[in-house]
Chain A
């Protein structure tokens, strides 16, 4: 490869990274921003009004507020986790925000998500999908922790990508939901399809990314 080809390849790589990270950062921050009003603990949100009966259960209320706080924190902290410059130059930031991410997912985000999945809107299949999300999020994060403790950085990277893909379903779901809303789809139809596309789409995207980076793809699940 000559110098010109190398420069073009590198520029394309940076361009694609910008193309990926700008919307990811924007929508992540937007999600966190939109989550903040819930912490005035008022009931005048359509999401809460729709689940009026469930919000009478104190444990459901507790799970909801801790889950959205944990989710917002995970999405924010994960933004620092994939930056190569932070990993190389500010390792302490990566390590500590990673530790807190793992702690929050394993002790708060995934268990509360699992509890709430039993009352998810939609059919039994949407409830199963939420359970699958909670289990996958928990398992991928636990594996990410386990692999880094074994000093297996590559496997750690893969498992944390899978974990982040699950955390980001909250963001992608809202993007699809907004898109289909402008297409004039009915509310429940839009909700169900956006949910499935966001979960399966994120999994496929993460797996595709891991696949193109690794020749021995199947081994990424074993390690």
Chain B
């Protein structure tokens, strides 16, 4: 039984020494605080993802009533109004702009240049 205590003490000291060595080695590359912080961010991401998935699932399965999600009635006018406006082509825009320049302004610029 005495040898058990001696064996235990040797193991205990060896594990402590190895712990210190591994700790120093790990700290060279990573900070433990960083590790836990990173994981906290990861945890937040998981939670957000899960909540999004839950909402989606609720909507699909028709649980929206329990979550008090209000669905707007379908309105064609509203949909049309929300359609993005067609972009004006640059060439047409510039040509139109040139054509619309008032001759008075052009004359004034020419006077200044002279």
Contact = CB atoms under 8 A, between A and B. Distances in A.
Nearest to A99: B1
Interface stretch (A11-19, A106-114, A176-184): A106-114
A50 B36 contact: yes
A65 to B, nearest CB: 15
A146 B39 CA distance: 44
Given A115-B19, A119-B23, A107 B36 contact: no
Interface in A46-72: 46, 49-54, 57, 59-60, 63
Contacts of A46: 43
A134 B9 CA distance: 12
Interface residues of A, number: 31
Please classify the interface of chain B as helix (H, G, I), strand (E, B), loop, or mixed, using the class held by over half of its residues: helix
A102 interface: yes
B20 A118 contact: yes
A53 B19 contact: no
Interface stretch (B10-18, B55-63, B70-78): B10-18
A220 interface: no
Given A102-B4, A145-B1, A52 B22 contact: no
Nearest to B30: A53
A112 B12 CA distance: 8
A142 interface: yes
B79 interface: no
B12 to A, nearest CB: 5
Q: Is the contact region of chain A dominated by helix, strand, or loop, or is it mixed?
A: helix
Contact of A52 (B8, B23, B39): B39
Contacts of B7: 106-107
Contacts of A50: 36, 39, 43
Nearest to A112: B15
B16 A138 contact: no
Interface in A65-123: 102-103, 106-107, 110-112, 114-119, 121
Given A111-B15, A118-B19, 18 more contacts: A51-B35, A53-B35, A59-B22, A107-B4, A110-B12, A111-B14, A112-B15, A114-B15, A114-B16, A115-B19, A117-B19, A119-B23, A119-B26, A142-B5, A142-B9, A145-B1, A145-B4, A145-B5
24 contacts: A49-B42, A51-B35, A52-B35, A53-B35, A54-B26, A54-B35, A59-B18, A102-B4, A103-B4, A106-B8, A110-B8, A110-B12, A111-B14, A111-B15, A111-B16, A112-B15, A114-B12, A114-B16, A115-B18, A115-B19, A118-B22, A121-B36, A145-B5, A146-B5
Interface of B: 1-2, 4-5, 7-9, 11-12, 14-16, 18-20, 22-23, 26, 30, 32, 35-36, 39, 42-43
